Amino acid sequence: MDNSVTVDGSGPDPAARPASFVHDALFYRDEAEFLTGTVPFLRDALAAGMPALVAVPAPHCAWVCQELGCGPEQVRFLDMTIDGRNPYRIIPAVLQTFAEEHPGQPVAIVAESVWPGRSAAEYPACVQHDAMVNVAFPALAGAMLCPYDSRLLEPEMLRDAGRTHPALIVAGVRTPSAHYCEPAKVVADFNRPLPCPAHATAVMDFAGVDDLPRLRDFVRRHAIDTGLSHDRAVDLERAANEIATNTIRHAGGAGSVRLWAEDGHVLCDITDDGYIEGSLAGRLTPPVTSEGGRGLLVSNHLCDLVRLYSVPGLTTVRLFVRIS
């Protein structure tokens, strides 16, 4: 979808078929500007026979659905505050899944990954996500429009949107972003040491596969003691086991696990001496024939948030599970 003809409101040619993937940020100040930016984009896509996905907070889904007057058989709607609460999950569980349902077809996507109320812990992962969208789907054709509430979001968040989107749409005018950066640079800039625990923690060292049963029991018990339900404690146990197994297989075999409660979540750090080099690690579902590459991906699906800090000789994966 060619989004370059938007200044006069005419939009792209509905008959045009995109030859590449367009990734724009849409700045809006209220419901009217949100709809002015998204609804013509979606109508053009539907007129061209393109599959359309709207993944935004639920109230914004309602705005679009009412304005378009269409049902789920025409447009897929997802509440991003649920499906995309963990930013690491957006590419594999939302975007990749939708693209693979329509192989060989150009797609139109409205995806709001940053909204007022995103936590300080979530935000760096959001910026890294937006950067990696530019390289995650080299064979995908179509367009993705990312709304940003320019009235309520902090100015630095809007500046970051300019770093992660090649073009910006402001007041109906689409212009190249003067601050767009290479995705790898953005990911590196937000690869920052994770804040130290604010409270007392439970710590266990592990070394080798024989320690995994003890590690699983340690995580489950302390997760329940710090407030998780049994089922969510088991989810955290499974996620920690996946990361610790990666440590044993790929990072020398030894590491440590630490648990504590903070800001309504149980947090679990797994730290080792390894280095996760690939920026897309855990963000794409590997082929079914692949024997590995799922540990971080599984953890992203099980947890409400995953944060990663990795430099040569040190990696920490921080798992967050919300206390009900």
Over the stretch 300-313, which tens digit does the pLDDT of each residue have? Answer: 999 999 999 999 99
Roughly how many angstroms between the first and final C-alpha of the chain, as a whole number?
Answer: 42
pLDDT for 7 beyond 80: no
pLDDT for 27 beyond 50: yes
CA distance 58 to 18: 29
pLDDT for 11 beyond 70: no
| Residues linked to residue 254 through DSSP beta bridges, in sequence order | 207
pLDDT for 4 beyond 90: no
Is residue 279 within 8 A of residue 313, CB to CB? The reply is no
pLDDT confidence band for 12 (50 / 70 / 90)? very low
Spatial neighbors of 257 by CB under 8 A, at least 6 apart, are 203, 204, 206, 215, 218, 219, 240, 244, 268, 269, 270, 271
CA distance 240 to 256: 11
Summarize pLDDT for 145-188 with one digit per residue, the tens: 999 999 999 999 999 999 999 999 999 999 999 999 999 999 99
Percent of the chain with pLDDT over 70: 91
Position 5 scores a pLDDT of: 29
Position 73 scores a pLDDT of: 74
Q: For residue 117, give the amino acid letter.
A: G
Q: Across the chain, what does the average pLDDT equal?
A: 90
Summarize pLDDT for 69-81 with one digit per residue, the tens: 876 678 999 999 9
Select the more confidently predicted residue: 53 or 286: 53
pLDDT for 49 beyond 70: yes
Is residue 63 within 8 A of residue 34, CB to CB? The reply is yes
SS3 content of the chain, % helix, strand, coil (to 5): 40, 25, 40
Summarize pLDDT for 190-220 with one digit per residue, the tens: 999 999 998 878 999 999 999 999 999 999 9
Position 152 scores a pLDDT of: 98
Is residue 27 within 8 A of residue 150, CB to CB? The reply is yes
Summarize pLDDT for 226-268 with one digit per residue, the tens: 999 999 999 999 999 999 999 998 888 899 999 999 999 999 9
Task: Read off φ and ψ for residue 316, nearest 5 degrees.
Answer: -125, 125
CA distance 287 to 125: 24
- Name all domains of the chain by residue range, CATH numbers in brackets: 21-189 (3.40.50.300), 202-322 (3.30.565.10)
Average confidence (pLDDT) over 138-151: 95
Position 69 scores a pLDDT of: 86
Is residue 308 within 8 A of residue 128, CB to CB? The reply is no
Position 50 scores a pLDDT of: 94
Select the more confidently predicted residue: 1 or 109: 109
DSSP 232: H
pLDDT for 286 beyond 90: no
Instruction: Please give the model's pTM, rounded to 2 decimal places.
Output: 0.89
pLDDT confidence band for 9 (50 / 70 / 90)? very low
